[in-house]
Structure 1
């Protein structure tokens, strides 16, 4: 019996060594929040954290904002600013911002000065939104200023890439159907882990012109390209479990250093291209 127990213990120890960095880093990450993720949980529009919200006030660097954050939770969280696209008000990205917050992030759905603001202007406003959240917002005590991320749809996706190119310490970016006609020279300057998301029948920002070349031009060692079924609007502006799965997993992995989410990103799932293993 003792020999058998010793063999079981030895095998368990070997398994932990083989699992190696991934197992250890998941346990060692001080930012790990929430229960162990499952395929169902990462697709949930309402994640494990109750969410509250507050309007952004007293700001000058962006048009408007609503901040969604985990309610009644202690400590700080990774923080994300999200921009809508061309001719789109802040409210169109509320579902997305609230969903991300419910998985354990502080997230601003940002409105632009005008709905026609081009990508560079949106990028400047996204950077101002992050600065506001960590220095002046009503929830600044919940913000970890070292763990910042960006996302945005259409011209907001272009703005995400523009802002990311000017933020060498940014932890993660998720541009959605990015539109940025003059973005070519900007993309190689993006150093943050970046998940580019496109749609296969998008005739406004066709993947062949925008998302795919942007992905290929990225120089970050951690990058991915996700193709969703649908047009320029529907997969991004309506609650979408597939988008939720990958956006949540990307931000969890790179804002929280939570390797429990690697399983949803590597090996590459269908309709997804990326650099594996993640580092």
Structure 2
């Protein structure tokens, strides 16, 4: 199901905290999507002890030295007959914003997209190993549930194919991707940059068919850069810096699951920018959810709960259960005296339960 994201005004981050997400969202501005970001960056190579992956040739890991882990991560692969240097500016950019980045080479410069997809998956395995390597500065510092992939040209095609091969990937950033006859049935949110005047991967033959081949149930965004060539998205400075701002926001929203970036994207960055010759997207920001004062004497118990939550109410009620990002997960009506909602099908998390017109929070253990 396509995700919907709530720009949520809440007076807590997790169940028992009082920090406001509204206050967090106040810091989510275009002005903070700088290049470089606020953190210092260091690098690791195989000479420093990182794994030598068999499906790629050589790697550099860029990581922040003064940010707070655990970190999301992204693996990036270059294009046909191209070196990692062709996309290396993405490494310090992402890392300076707190996202660990591994940029790899290919076993052969002539590798096609499918081989580059395998190379990206192997790079993610290197990050998993790095998270457990005792002498690594990243030991225990990576959130291995928050991985993304990216690539340029055939590497961009490979990044999209990697999402098909591994459905745990949380996001894709395809840079002027090249992929013939695309088979892209996956659920990983995909951002596609293309250049209007790209002679190597013309949008009409690659980026646009890629967007159309991605299921409508998958969050997707196509951003075509006016007068752009094949390398227009090779650095975050492309399109007057808009390429980096959109890519970073995409990872924040979909990989780090920070819903504040949904309205920043839809209402600001994608609001008729002069740098774009075409924008296509299906992402939507859900209506505001707010935890309200309970004026109807409705209570949820036990809270926390393991499976079933009871509703104390003497009147019939309708209910909706929302994810932390505002996605509607369940709904129904309860007419009997014993009113229960079975949450056993949901993972352990905090949820919002709207009972009639009152929204309450519930923690499922």
- Quote the offset at 1:225 in angstroms: 0.5
Shifted more, 154-163 versus 61-70: the winner is: 61-70
2:42 aligned with 1:58: no
TM-score (norm 2): 0.65
Q: Measure the CA separation in 2 of the matches of 1:52 and 1:256.
A: 21
1:200 — aligned with what?
196
2:286 aligned with 1:275: no
Q: Measure the CA separation in 2 of the matches of 1:251 and 1:67.
A: 18
**C-alpha distance after superposition, 1:13-63 (max 9, x if no partner):** xxxxxxx94225896379x99981322222x22012221111144312311
Shifted more, 256-265 versus 123-132: the winner is: 256-265
Unaligned runs of 5+ residues in structure 2 are 16-20, 286-326, 328-365
Contact 2:28 2:264 in 1 (8 A): no
TM-score (norm 1): 0.84
Distance 1:114 1:260, change over 3 A: same
2:8 — aligned with what?
23
Q: Measure the CA separation in 1 of the matches of 2:45 and 2:57.
A: 12
Contact 2:236 2:245 in 1 (8 A): no
2:103 — aligned with what?
109
- Quote the offset at 1:223 in angstroms: 0.8
Distance 1:162 1:67, change over 3 A: same
Q: Measure the CA separation in 2 of the matches of 1:212 and 1:61.
A: 29
Contact 1:134 1:144 in 2 (8 A): no
Shifted more, 264-273 versus 118-127: the winner is: 264-273
1:142 — aligned with what?
141
**SS at the partner of 1:53?**
strand
**SS at the partner of 1:66?**
strand
**C-alpha distance after superposition, 1:71-113 (max 9, x if no partner):** 1334211110001111111122110121111111011111111
How many correspondences in the alignment?
255
**C-alpha distance after superposition, 1:184-228 (max 9, x if no partner):** 2x21x2210111111110010000011011111211431111111
Distance 1:156 1:169, change over 3 A: same
2:207 aligned with 1:217: no
Q: Counterparts of 1:125-204 in structure 2 under 5 Å?
A: 125-136=119-130, 138=136, 139-182=138-181, 184=182, 186-187=183-184, 189-204=185-200
2:263 aligned with 1:263: yes
Contact 1:26 1:258 in 2 (8 A): no
Distance 1:238 1:222, change over 3 A: closer
More helix by share: 1
Shifted more, 120-129 versus 237-246: the winner is: 237-246
Q: Measure the CA separation in 2 of the matches of 1:195 and 1:202.
A: 17
Distance 1:195 1:54, change over 3 A: same
**SS at the partner of 2:251?**
helix
From the CA coordinates, give the structure whose radius of gyration is larger: 2
Q: Measure the CA separation in 2 of the matches of 1:146 and 1:50.
A: 24
Q: Measure the CA separation in 1 of the matches of 2:202 and 2:64.
A: 35
Aligned alpha-carbon RMSD (Å): 2.5
**C-alpha distance after superposition, 1:117-166 (max 9, x if no partner):** 11000000000000111124633422111011011100100110111111
**C-alpha distance after superposition, 1:237-264 (max 9, x if no partner):** 4733111011000000011111221123
**SS at the partner of 1:28?**
coil
